[in-house]
Amino acid sequence: MLLALFLTALIGIEREARAKSAGVRTHTLVGFGAAVFVVVSKYGFADVLAADQVALDPSRIAAQAVSGVGFIGGGLIFVHRGVVRGLTTAATIWLAAAVGMACGAGLPVLAVTTTTTAAHYLITAGFPPLAQFLSR
């Protein structure tokens, strides 16, 4: 849980530093909340599973968290005069949820490695200069 808190705060700090609509608080809350949902789905129903006739799929809660976070992200996207704003921030909210879910599922290496938190910094900091270079 602490790793989810820390990693998603790092993602939010980058968004906050760029004065985006969703910053450190939003990213941290989404990522930490996603971790809580995964922990609940993994361990929260042990008493129900004690009955021999009950089978649960813990991935269902995680799947619903992904859908719910997509809804939050959709609220961050605006189009004004043909210009789309908030799309990257919406994507980072979704990524923060994925990082939190990885932490909650007990996959800290996945949460830290280049597939998640480190890739966020590479994409948000490294890709804009690359895009400017390629557009020339």
Q: Where are the domains of the chain?
A: 2-131
Angle between helices 24-43 and 87-104 (to 10 degrees): 40
> Residue 36: its pLDDT value, please?
92
d(CA 33, CA 4): 9
Predicted local confidence at residue 116, as pLDDT? 65
Statement: residue 51 has pLDDT above 80? no
pLDDT at 75: 86
Quote the CA–CA distance of 112 and 116 in Å, as a whole number.
6
The 8-class DSSP code of residue 12 comes to H
Asked if the model's pLDDT at residue 113 lies above 90, the reply is: no
Residue 85: beta bridge partners? Answer: 78
47/43: higher pLDDT: 43
- Unique residue bearing structure tokens 């809580």: 36
- Report in angstroms the alpha-carbon separations of 48 from 1, 40, 45, 120, 123: 24, 13, 5, 38, 43
Q: Three-state DSSP class for 76? A: coil
